Structure 1
Amino acid sequence: MTVPITHTDSPDRRSLHERIAADLRDDIMSGDLAPGTSLPSTTRLKERFDASNATIQKALHILKDEQLVVGRAGSAVTVREHRQRTMRPAAYMAPATPGEPYRWLTEATQHGARAHSTLLDVAETRPPADVASSLGLGDTETAVLRHQILTIDGEPAELVKSYYPLAVARDTAIMAKRKIKGGTPALLTQLGFPPLLSVDRVSARIPTQEQYQALNLPSDLPVLRTLRVVYTDADRPVEATVMVKAGHLYELQYEFTPG
């Protein structure tokens, strides 16, 4: 049930159909409207939101464009199966065992999905300022960029840009434009830089033009941007990765122990 919130000094300036879509989106993402279940009828939605039939249909159209629901006008609209996926970063930080695929692919396929990674580019470049700072690079220093896109069931899931200091990447498979068997955690371990600590900084941002197109986003809904810095012995940073995914389709699960 929607509880009206009134702030006379900061009204919601969105159109009514956008506000309705936002409330229904929250119901879907919180699980109140579970995958495979039908949304309330148009009549009930009209009563709930005090809106016209046309306004309700415009709201549902937004959710269909976002791939959260399916259905046609005049028929039941249902929440799509497996729309919001929970990713557990800790599950794919350890190096893959010999012969096994990169752990992100294994984690993504746990529920029967098809996961794939496509390497888009490998280049020596100057990283963004926050990445350069995380790697301890000087004002003119460059790093090796490995740029890839990860897909689930043929749909773009995550845009990934990983940066490595030249002292780590030089004359290694990191600089080659081909996939690294088992992923970079396994390779870094082989090179003598075992990943011992990862630090994530997660923020919600409006997508850039590149992210909007690469992830095939339906609107300017926020994306989740994770800057992950991987450290080896002596707290030395050996990898900094920027990962971007659609905020309305994915959530991150972190687990902690007391102390």
Structure 2
Amino acid sequence: MPSTLQLTTRFGASNATIQKALKALKEEGLVVGRAGANVSVRPHRQRTMRPADHIAPTAAGEPYRWIADAEQRGWQASSTLLHVGEVEPPPDVASALELADGGTALLRGQLLTLDGESAELVTSYYPVELARGTAMMERRKIRGGTPTLLASLGYPPRQCVDLVSARVPTQEQYELLQLPSELPILRTFRVVYSDDERPIEVTIMAKAAHLYELRYAFGS
């Protein structure tokens, strides 16, 4: 990139303003710089994610679709299980799962990484009556993911509804995603339905908004 002096001259801005702008770019990971060296632009890092690719169950013995898709695209993907337990979910989740007042749900939370970088914080809720007595209640990963397990129990995913918005991150999201300051997250609130429009899963996904975009394709 041009020197600080060149940038102040080109844009007619003060040195303090230029330094603040460069700091913001470094925090976002868009440029890198070392003491005594010029600031340089990093390769394009924004990833395009295709949510529809990860909803269906996997074939027997295959890994979770999100991880398989990432590896096919040349990324090293992994997941870390953070939380497993029965909780009283937030009101919007309880409503989407059609729970009675004071009803509980199974919570499974995980952190997904790509190439060693925090990529997505995933918090999923399931009706307890579907999860009891299954591997979903255990603090361990599920081969093929929960869509595969639910399908084996007779609850295959039939429809998925996403609500996507930009939000100020919570403290947990800020820390786990290692976010730069003053940047939003890309939040997806997803409800998955099985046969007879029965809700079987609500998932809240949080991504660093400056690193990801979502691709949806629609047919007539």
In which range does the TM-score fall when normalised by the shorter chain? over 0.9
> For residues 157-193 of structure 1, what are the alpha-carbon distances to aligned partners after superposition, in whole Å with 9 as ceiling and x for unaligned?
1111110001211111111111000011111110100
Of 52-61 and 238-247, more deviation after overlay is shown by 52-61
1:1-259 matches, within 5 Å, as 39=1, 42=4, 45-72=7-34, 74-78=37-41, 80-258=42-220
Whole-Å Cα distance in 2 between the matches of residues 105 and 81 of structure 1?
23
SS in 2 for 1:136: coil
RMSD across aligned positions (CA): 1.7
Counterpart-to-counterpart distance in 1, 2:44 and 2:140: 31
Q: TM-score, normalised by structure 2?
A: 0.93
Contact 1:87 1:108 in 2 (8 A): no
Instruction: Count residues with an aligned counterpart.
Output: 219
User: Residue 109 of structure 1: SS of its match in structure 2?
Assistant: helix
Q: CA deviation at 1:69?
A: 1.6
Could you give the per-residue CA deviations for residues 66-125 of structure 1, whole angstroms, max 9, x where no partner exists?
2122233652421x2352111100111111122221111122234322110011121000
Q: Distance in 2 between matches of 1:220 and 1:54?
A: 18
Q: Distance in 1 between matches of 2:165 and 2:9?
A: 36
Secondary structure, aligned partner of 2:7: helix
Give ranges in structure 1 of 5+ residues lacking alignment. 1-38
> Given residue 40 of structure 2, which amino acid in structure 1 is its aligned partner?
V
Return the offset for 1:58.
2.4
Partner Cα distance (2:20, 2:139) in 1: 45
TM-score by length of 1: 0.80
Q: Distance in 1 between matches of 2:173 and 2:118?
A: 10
Structure with the greater relative contact order (CA < 8 A, sep ≥ 6): 1 or 2?
2
| Structure 2 runs not aligned, ≥5 long | none
CA distance in 1, matches of 2:5, 2:46: 27
Structure 2: distance between partners of 1:71 and 1:97: 46
